[in-house]
Chains A and B, each alone.
Chain A
Amino acid sequence: MVERTPMDPASENQFKRDLVTLIPHLRAFARTLCGDAAAADDLAQDTVMKAWDARSSYQMGTNMKAWTFMILRNQFYSEKRRSWRQTQLDQEAAERTLVAIDDPASPLALDELRQALIMLPSEQREALILVGAGGFAYEEAAEICGCAVGTVKSRVSRARRALQGILEEGAYDRDGLPAGDAMRSILSDAERLSGPR
């Protein structure tokens, strides 16, 4: 390990405060990568630990959210490489998620979206989440994923099309719901959320 100049106490405190405010976002990102909530929290906790240990390599004033998301993503893929081949893990995560999200209190449309999301290849899923939900610009998402901006753009657009296809065709199986029901419930939910007319 490289010996680094330690942070001064004021910067360290600031770093810690900023890191704490990012924890909810790290948990949300981890949940979309792992699918299952317990594995996601383990991943997010590892990320907090790694970010803290690497604090002296963080440049104050740069985008700390992107920096921590990058650590989380690297951690996710290095664990994945260690344990299973990607396809196997995706399959297992999908199966665990299908069980885990069988929550009667959860709105139907959200369950269906989670199921559809877990069916996407992980590089499409992460790109769509970063840009579509995490509030990152394409450039930032490219930096987090270590790829070109154009690659992120095409992954996001492929992910959007694939999601819509899955939701419309009911490519998953949920209590024998007829195809197209998922998209219908998402549309009516979105209409309700967009406020009263």
Chain B
Amino acid sequence: MGLMSNQPEKTKGPDLEEARLRQQAIGVKLRQMFDDVVNEPVPDEFLDILRRHDERAGGK
């Protein structure tokens, strides 16, 4: 099993195909890394910034 052992030979040759697979795998991990942070709960400090503005505006 595994990506490397059962890849059929492509017309461009196994090296190019292998490089493409590796780039694809890196791309998947890159998005996963980014999305992991996107999916973290937003710390309260961020919302406090905008809430402070609300209070200032409301006091006028």
Which chain A residues border B31 with CB–CB below 8 Å?
132-133
| Chain A 148-179: CB-based contact to B (< 8 A → 1; otherwise 0) | 00000000000010011001100000000000
- Cβ of B30 to closest chain A Cβ, rounded Å: 5
Residues in A with CB closer than 8 Å to B49 are: 45, 48-49, 52
Quick check: B50 and A187 within 8 Å, CB to CB? no
Count of A residues near B, CB < 8 Å? Answer: 40
CA distance A31 to B3 in the complex (A): 31
Q: How far is the CA of A128 from the CA of B30 in the complex (A)?
A: 9
Chain A residues near B24 (CB, 8 Å)? 190
For A128, the chain B residues whose CB sits under 8 A away are 30
State the main secondary structure of chain B at its contact with A. Answer: helix
Given contacts A52-B49, A188-B3, A193-B32, whether A23 and B26 have CB atoms under 8 Å apart is no
Asked if A73 is an interface residue, CB under 8 A from chain B, the answer is no
The smallest C-beta distance from B19 to any residue of chain A, in angstroms, reads 8
* Contact across chains for B25 and A23 when beta carbons are under 8 A apart: no
Q: Which of A32, A109, A190, A194 neighbours the largest number of chain B CB atoms within 10 Å of its CB?
A: A190
**What are 29 A-B pairs at a CB distance below 8 A?**
A16-B50, A20-B47, A23-B46, A24-B37, A25-B38, A28-B34, A28-B38, A32-B34, A45-B46, A45-B49, A48-B49, A49-B49, A52-B50, A109-B29, A110-B32, A113-B29, A113-B33, A129-B34, A133-B31, A133-B33, A133-B34, A168-B22, A183-B22, A186-B22, A187-B4, A187-B25, A188-B2, A190-B29, A194-B28
Instruction: Find chain A residues with CB under 8 A from B3 CB.
Output: 187-188, 191
User: 1/0 per position for B14-44, CB-CB distance to A under 8 A?
Assistant: 0000010111111111111111111110110
User: Known contacts A23-B46, A163-B26, A189-B25; can you find 7 more A-B pairs with CB under 8 A?
Assistant: A27-B42, A113-B30, A132-B31, A164-B22, A188-B3, A190-B24, A193-B32
Asked if A44 is at the interface (CB within 8 A of a chain B CB), the reply is yes
Whether A186 pairs with B50 at a CB distance below 8 angstroms is no
Instruction: Enumerate chain B residues within 8 angstroms of A45, measured Cβ to Cβ.
Output: 45-46, 49
* Cβ-defined partner of B38 (8 Å) among A19, A24, A114, A163: A24
Query: A129-B34, A133-B34, A191-B2 given as contacts; is B39 within 8 A of A24 (CB)?
Result: yes
- Min C-beta distance of A121 to chain B, whole Å: 16
Taking the complex as formed, is B53 at the interface, i.e. its CB lies under 8 A from any CB of chain A? Answer: yes
| A112: nearest chain-B partner, CB-CB | B29
